[in-house]
Amino acid sequence: MSNNSSSKDWWRGAVVYQIYPRSFADSNDDGIGDLRGITDKLDYVTSLGVDAIWLSPFYKSPMKDYGYDVADYCDVDPMFGTLDDFRKLLAKAHKLGLKIIIDFVLTHSSDQHKWFQESRSSRDNPKADWYIWADAKPDGSPPNNWQAHFGGPSWTFDVRRGQYYFHNFLPEQPDINLRSPGARKAIFDAARFWLDMGVDGFRLDAALHYFCDPSLKDNPSNPNPSSSWLEHQTPFSMQKHENDIHIPDTLAFMEELRALMDKYDGRMGVAEIGGERGIILAAQYTDGPKRIHTAYNFSLITGDTASASRIHGALGEFMDQPGDGWPSWAFSNHDVPRIASRWFSDKSPCAHNPRFSKMLIALLCSLYGSVFIYQGEELGLPEAQIAFEDIQDPWGKFLYPLWQGRDGCRTPMPWQAGKKNGGFCKTKPWLPVPGAHTKLAVDRQEKEKDSTLRFTREFLKWRKTQPALVRGDIDFLETGNDDILVYTRTLGGSSILCLFNLSGETKILKKSAGAALFNAGEQTGMPTGGTVTLPPYGFSFSPVVSEN
């Protein structure tokens, strides 16, 4: 794995802060966050010590999937503002030294997009092949057995055209046919529009879904349907997705997109790679200078427990792959329950432990690769509990009461502890702000000396002075205890020993638990009497002094 660094590969080892625009900052008090609100808060983001921002979609959209159903790739939805508002946001971010990465949702559009409206009008119009259409079977049923993520078949019949169209997600999100030269050109023209404006990169949504098997073969059944990446058994998880996901054409398309981005200085792409083979595919999709720059997978944003073997296993599996790929890691994002609740041993609603949240920040930001912090992680926000009548997420409505969906991690940011709705807005917000979040508001944590927010700022400031933590190699050390994670980060002649207690109990490491650990530890000036004591959720970083 390469560790070379330059202004063109600023993203290697970068800390990226994800902003979900609907829920970050509301500048016009309509209950929905917007671009001006983000611009007003850029000084706050800068103060965290992050390198870049990833903005979830703000494109024009009917909001059936909250912006991931794009109706115009080159315009801003009025609820978020205007293109001029985005230009001002971009200019201020760059002035502050922040890079801006935007979501690029090119696997599907909204059914309200003018491209789809024309495509569905007939079988011989200029955009007839811009989406994936197929005839019904003789009995009128869908072309094959493919199932959509959000429930039901992946096919919806359109009476105007007299055919089924394919959609991996909602029926309102028809998949674009990237084999169509016209559609492909239109997508690349949209990419150029934003690159010309000056964005620093793209987060590539659902990257494995860009192509499906043109022969539309049925998927085989999955003998272990409970192993879906969100761990909920649905018709989607009951299949092995051999013919509708990760088709070989995708890699060639990624190389074409990378070639376009390479025409612009210092731009990058980060691909969202899901599925059971996500780590292997993330390494494959980032292997070499022709493929996408980096990718993240779901290995650390799923599961309800923290363990050394989980983290070691994920990073180890990536590094064991052939090639020169560069990983990205996240513990939370807009699609999964917040890490402060998901991995916390106390599963009571909105339980919060600042020690645990600080440990998570230190752990994530010392892993090998680039890392993504989701808004509110710097506050230690727990997962919000959403009443059924308040659920907005279509996935949540489909899975309730098994799961409340993604709304629990999408509630508005709490800015002021003493204000209604945590200072997000005075009117009713699009999702409720829990009282447990208001208690963790930004203004309160800025005043508290030992808050998670102040720790995040201090840690990321210190991290910038430690090249080994940013770009160094990683080597894991065995302790014989799955609650204790130990590794070294090494760059050149500098090495740092990193220890984490992932449990809520004090842990004592005995010398017999791992000689390698104590060989390194003894060189740091750590206790040499045969044990090291780590308090609940404790962690430490120590320089390893060379014996030479």
Catalytic residues: 205, 272
Residues 6+ apart with CB under 8 A from 325: 1, 282, 283, 284, 285, 286, 287, 291, 294, 295, 318
- Please tell me what DSSP assigns to residue 388: G
Closest CA to 452 of 384, 546, 373, 345: 373
- Identify the three-state secondary structure at position 114: helix
Which residue has 């690029």 as its token pair? Answer: 104
Dist. CA 395–CA 402, nearest whole Å:
11
Dist. CA 366–CA 311, nearest whole Å:
12
Which amino acid belongs to residue 76? V
Farthest-apart Cα atoms in the chain, separation? 80
The two three-digit tokens of residue 389, written as one number: 């009548």
H or E stretch including 15? strand 15-19
Residue 354 β-bridge partners? none
Residues 6+ apart with CB under 8 A from 295: 207, 270, 271, 272, 273, 281, 282, 285, 286, 325, 327, 328
What does each C-alpha distance from 377 to 13, 268, 464, 471 come to in angstroms?
19, 24, 19, 23
- Please tell me what DSSP assigns to residue 54: E
